[in-house]
Amino acid sequence: MSQPTAHDTLINRELGILEFNRRVLAQAEDAATPLLERLRFLCIFSSNMDEFFEIRVAGLKEQIRLNPHHTGPDGLTARQAYKAVAGVAHELVARQYELFNKDVLPALAQQDIRFLRRTHWNPEQADWIRAFFFNELMPVLTPIGLDPAHPFPNVLNKSLNFAVELSGKDAFGRNSNRAVVQAPRSLPRVIRLPAEVAGCEYGFVFLSSILHAHVGELFPGMEVQGCVQFRVTRNSDLFVDEEENKNLREQLQGELPHRHFGNAVRLEVADNCSEEMTDFLLRQFGLGRDDLYQVRGPVNLVRLMAVPDRVDRPDLKFTPFTPGLPPALAREPDLFKAIAAGDILLHHPFQSFQPVIDFIRQAAEDPDVLAIRQTVYRTGTDSELMRHLIAAAQRGKEVTAVVELMARFDEEANINWAEQLEKAGAHVVYGVVGYKTHAKLALVVRRENGRLRRYCHLGTGNYHPRTARLYTDFGLMTCHPDLCQDVNDVFMQLTGLGKAHEHSLLLQSPFSMHPRMMQAIRNETERARAGEKAAIVAKMNALLEPRVIAALYEASQAGVQIDLIVRGVCALKPGIPGLSENIRVRSVIGRLLEHHRIFYFLNGGQEDVWLASADWMDRNFFRRIETGFPLLDPKLKRRVINEGLKPYLKDNTRAWEMQPDGAYRRRSRRGKAFDAQAFLLGLLAAKT
């Protein structure tokens, strides 16, 4: 089987990510989305785009610099990809601000939630804001006049800054006509005014508006000719030299501060920025016109993310819900007894993440528990789970934490937890250099009736209580001897030394997961060629690995019916006659972030179902330590099919269907509306 590399069979990864962000932006565009949630989706789009520029666009620029003629699997050079990406990104950002200014802000104003523009402040509002400036802002602002003794400052990644054009001479006779004011990150970007001053219940003013109005106070005796906000996005990928690395944590700690000052990749300025100032800023950051984004409004909409939480209007937000509990746990609070009675499947966030926290808490408190082992990829800066692990170590239990220090943007939090765990007496290891530990595993060893028994938790998502309320994931609690032995073997690999061997049940990257997925796809292909019914259904965050895509194309040509539910980027092109006419690709975007990884193969009616921590991407198969696990209990297998796959194939409200050219079209609604996430909330959340 030949591996497809031509541009007519694979879609560019960066363009695919932008198409995902287009679908996120569509949630803000949808009038059926509650109003404050529309604002939140605008902020989520901004946050996604920040990371896109920090990592993906930064990577393209590095490729242009180092190897400009190399072509990727999609047939594009980095320069060609960047030009295409810049065109789409400018289009999306323009649409975002159009929505913000013409749709969302006016609709909020109709609900008495107003963002007060400085050109519309009445005298009372102007007085309050002036006092706020002198009392709260001016003491922490440092204006920097630009002259030979004051070069252009090295501004922080994604920080809010103001470029000021001046005339006149200062106290020393200097006549520099430019200055920069950096807004400290500790300052809020949106300030709420008292209702009696605002003239409405919720009146907000942008920090940028306050600084614009009073920037002259920072330059006494000078005339302010112009003031514009700007923001620069920098390359935020960290470089760790694996060959020279002696202590990963120390090297990473030394590298983290540089994230704020990497090479510039994007400049955002207000649309009132003069051509002269725009060119000046582009020169300072070594950027071209394609890197410039002029916007009408705040240059950092991410900082508006807090506004919906500061507005007490439940009618303008998604209906809150309380996660439910599986019946087995509702009946039996002792988790070890409950798990011993049968495997337990948790479907987050429709069902509570609390049992996972309780699993570690009970293990930490139980005198019969001897050892706890857990992987830590993302867990947050304030993690109850980590505190229970620390408490277990302090009680003298053998605690082993495999902490992934290279979890992007969580490096600092993970370093802090690693240090605290070590101080408590836990064994802390950082996995294997060159391979991120992305597997989601926890193992407890308990003495029962004079013998040792293992219990484990395996998941598709992180041990992060906050994201567990927002991300859809499955978690399995089991004491199945073979599965627990496999989990134990993975921990032995990560903490010690030894050759890889085949697990009884568990799939593991970088060893067995890719071969087994390829084998399962080929098995369906052979069954279809033999005239049998054959089907594959896979749900994941991203599909990029070329050999898997080639195998899926071959399966389609053999007659295998393939349904792919891919939330984000998908490099495969569906629906092309003679290549992929039997493949359908859909993406579901709703109030919750779809995060499951589920792989279903009909296998002659046996219906093999796997849950995994891995997407079908090169990095997950070959450069990460990942795990996939089968559903052995028939009832739980049926639950995964009925909860994790079928509703998403039926969804005609939040589903988007991928076209052969890589574009997505919202699925047309036929018959009764069906929203998969709403259905699962009704099925699994606690009844109120």
Mean pLDDT computed over 104-111: 97
pTM of the full structure: 0.93
Q: Residues 436-452: what's their mean pLDDT?
A: 95
pLDDT by residue (tens digit) across 84-105?
A: 999 999 999 999 999 999 999 9
Distance CA 187, CA 202 (A): 19
Which residues are bridge partners to 625 per DSSP?
A: 437
How far is it, in rounded angstroms, from Cα 318 to Cα 236?
33
| Domains, the chain, with CATH or none | 13-253+260-316 (3.30.1840.10), 327-504 (3.30.870.10), 508-684 (3.30.870.10)
**What is residue 173's predicted lDDT score, i.e. its pLDDT?**
58
Quick one: pLDDT band at residue 670, thresholds 50, 70, 90?
confident
User: Using H for helix, E for strand and C for coil, what is the string for 210-236?
Assistant: HHHHHHHHHCCCCEEEEEEEEEEEECC
Torsion sign, CA atoms 154, 157, 160, 164 = positive
- Better-scored residue on pLDDT, 156 or 7: 156
Residue-level pLDDT at 241? 43
Q: Is 258 a catalytic residue?
A: no
Mean pLDDT for the stretch of residues 207-230: 91
Handedness of CA 488, 385, 44, 591 (dihedral sign): positive
Residue 677 pLDDT > 90, yes or no?
Answer: yes
In terms of DSSP bridges, do strands 113-115 and 142-145 run parallel, antiparallel, or are they unpaired?
unpaired
pLDDT at 197 exceeding the cut of 90: yes
Q: What is the pLDDT of residue 467?
A: 92
Q: Are 57 and 85 in contact (CB under 8 A)?
A: yes
With beta carbons less than 8 A apart as the criterion, state whether 567 and 541 touch: yes
Tally of residues, the chain:
688
Cis peptide before 123 (omega within 30 of 0): no
Asked whether residue 1 carries a pLDDT value surpassing 70, the answer given is: no
Residue 504 has pLDDT above 70, yes or no: yes
Q: Could you tell me where the beta strands, DSSP code E, fall in 64-196?
A: 113-115, 142-145, 161-167, 178-182, 190-193
Closest CA to 518 of 562, 556, 559, 551: 551
Q: What was the pLDDT predicted at 2?
A: 43
The yes-or-no verdict on residue 238 having pLDDT over 60 is: no
- Mean pLDDT across the chain, nearest whole number? 91
Residue 3 has pLDDT above 90, yes or no: no
Dihedral sign, Cα of residue 327, residue 329, residue 332, residue 333: negative
- State how far the Cα of 197 lies from the Cα of 91, in Å rounded to an integer: 38
pLDDT digits (tens, 9 = 90+) for 626-655: 999 999 999 999 999 999 999 999 999 999
Rg, Å, the chain Cα set: 27
Lowest mean pLDDT segment, chosen from 65-79, 80-94, 166-180, 576-590: 166-180
Q: What is the pLDDT of residues 113-154, one digit of tens each?
A: 999 999 999 999 999 999 999 999 999 998 888 875 568 888
Provide the pLDDT confidence category of residue 410 given band limits of 50, 70 and 90.
low
List all residues 6 or more positions away from 612 whose beta carbon is below 8 Å from its beta carbon: 460, 507, 513, 597, 598, 599, 626, 627, 628, 629
Cβ atoms of 22 and 664 closer than 8 Å: yes
Tokens at 455, concatenated? 């219990």
Considering the candidates 214, 438, 457, 595, report the single residue annotated as catalytic.
438
CA dist., res. 629 & res. 663, Å (int): 33
pLDDT at 417: 84
In 449-540, which ranges are E strands?
A: 451-459, 471-478, 507-509, 535-540
Burial class of residue 529, CB neighbours in 10 A (0-12, 13-18, 19+): middle
The pLDDT assigned to 418 comes to: 86
**What pLDDT, on the 0 to 100 scale, is given for residue 73?**
87
Please choose, from the candidates 616, 592, 638, the residue with its C-alpha nearest in 3D space to the C-alpha of residue 517. 616
Q: How confident is the model at residue 411 (pLDDT cuts 50, 70, 90)?
A: confident
> What was the pLDDT predicted at 590?
96
Query: Could you tell me which residues come within 8 angstroms of residue 113 by beta carbon, excluding any fewer than 6 positions away?
Result: 200, 201, 202, 204, 311, 313
Read off the pLDDT of residues 287-322 as tens digits, 9 standing for 90 and up. 999 999 999 999 989 989 999 999 999 999 999 999
Query: For position 244, what pLDDT does the model report?
Result: 42
Token code pair at residue 612: 């995994």
Lowest-confidence pick of 434-448, 450-464, 489-503, 573-587: 489-503
pLDDT in tens, 512-521: 999 999 999 9
The predicted-structure confidence for 315-374, as pLDDT tens digits, reads as follows: 999 999 999 999 999 899 999 999 999 999 999 999 999 999 999 999 999 999 999 999
The whole-number pLDDT of residue 496 equals 81
Q: What is the mean pLDDT of residues 4-28?
A: 87
Lookup: tokens for 273:
């920025």
How confident is the model at residue 377, as a pLDDT? 86
From the CB of residue 147, how many other CB atoms can be counted at a distance below 10 Å? Answer: 15
> pLDDT class for 240, splitting at 50, 70, 90?
very low
pLDDT of residue 90: 98
Burial class (CB in 10 A: 0-12, 13-18, 19+), 498: exposed
